[in-house]
């Protein structure tokens, strides 16, 4: 039986050495708490990287729960497959290889929890593509929504981050004002938005 804390440490070191962005400590605590409270049976993750957050969620969700996770980088998905296999979770975590913007339109079934952690400029597009797959009460966790402090800053963002910042603001505006969602923005770390889906008729 593999020691998961050793494996998590190994993935953290691998990510650090290979410049692979994985969830930070603050966001992972929020993710773990939310997964424990919600006890989701079906999770969708957008942005696998090498499987760290997927394994984290798998460790705290019900044993018979399932995760679908999407990643477009072929090397990362291979590495994720290895780590997930070593963790003994390959039956529980399904890896989908490709651009989430396309794959989301082809998904079947419904989700109790969605973790959005891929292209920062696409969060609203991702959410809009899966709204009809959310169960009432589903939770959507979006990471890095304050993007290095730029999203809430009154200073204009550097030119190369302008679109990301604009689109993250649009995401936060949508989940904060659309009556179908109830959202809390956690400003710790790089910012995490946790939204509850109230249903289509709100
Ligand atoms: C921040 S990393 C994910 C980290 C991972 N959730 C974790 O904490 O272990 C974001 C990942 O999203 C992937 N990505 C970016 N845009 C994507 C897209 N359109 N479709 C699928 N994956 C995408 C990137 O290749 C990258 O590996």
Helix 52-60 to helix 4-17 angle, to the nearest 10 degrees? 160
pLDDT per residue as tens, the chain (202 positions): 789 999 999 999 999 999 999 999 999 999 999 999 999 999 999 999 999 999 999 999 999 999 999 999 999 999 999 999 999 999 999 999 999 999 999 999 999 999 999 999 999 999 999 999 999 999 999 999 999 999 999 999 999 999 999 999 999 999 999 999 999 999 999 999 999 999 987 7
Ligand 1 centroid, distance to 68 Cα (angstroms): 13
Contacts of 193 (CB under 8 A, 6+ apart): 140, 141, 142, 145, 171, 172, 175, 183, 184, 185, 186
pTM of the model: 0.98
From the alpha carbon of 28, which atom of ligand 1 is closest?
A: 8
Domains of the chain: 4-197 (3.40.50.150)
pLDDT score of 38: 98
Query: Which of 121-144 are b and which e, b meaning 16 or more Cβ less than 10 Å from the residue's Cβ?
Result: bbbbebbebbeebbeeebbbbbbb
The Cα 142–Cα 168 span in angstroms is 10
pLDDT score of 34: 98
Nearest CA to ligand 1 atom 27: 49
- Identify whether the C-beta of residue 104 lies closer than 8 Å to the C-beta of residue 129: yes
């Amino acid at each position: 039986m593999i020691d998961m804390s050793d494996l998590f440490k190994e993935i953290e070191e691998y990510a650090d050495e290979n410049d692979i962005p994985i969830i930070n400590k603050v966001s992972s605590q929020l993710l773990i708490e939310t997964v424990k409270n919600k006890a989701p049976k079906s999770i969708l993750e957008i942005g696998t990287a090498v499987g760290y957050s997927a394994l984290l969620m798998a460790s705290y969700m019900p044993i018979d729960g399932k995760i679908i996770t999407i990643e477009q980088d072929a090397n990362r998905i291979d590495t994720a497959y290895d780590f997930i296999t070593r963790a003994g979770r390959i039956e529980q975590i399904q890896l989908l290889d490709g651009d989430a913007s396309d794959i989301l339109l082809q998904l079947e079934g419904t989700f109790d929890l969605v973790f959005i952690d891929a292209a920062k400029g696409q969060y609203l597009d991702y959410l809009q593509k899966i709204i009809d797959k959310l169960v009432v009460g589903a939770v959507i966790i979006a990471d890095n929504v304050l993007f290095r402090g730029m999203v809430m800053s009154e200073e204009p963002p550097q030119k190369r981050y302008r679109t990301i910042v604009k689109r993250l603001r649009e995401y936060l505006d949508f989940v904060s004002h659309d009556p179908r969602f109830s959202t809390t923005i956690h400003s710790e770390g790089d910012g995490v938005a946790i939204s509850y889906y109230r249903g289509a008729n709100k």
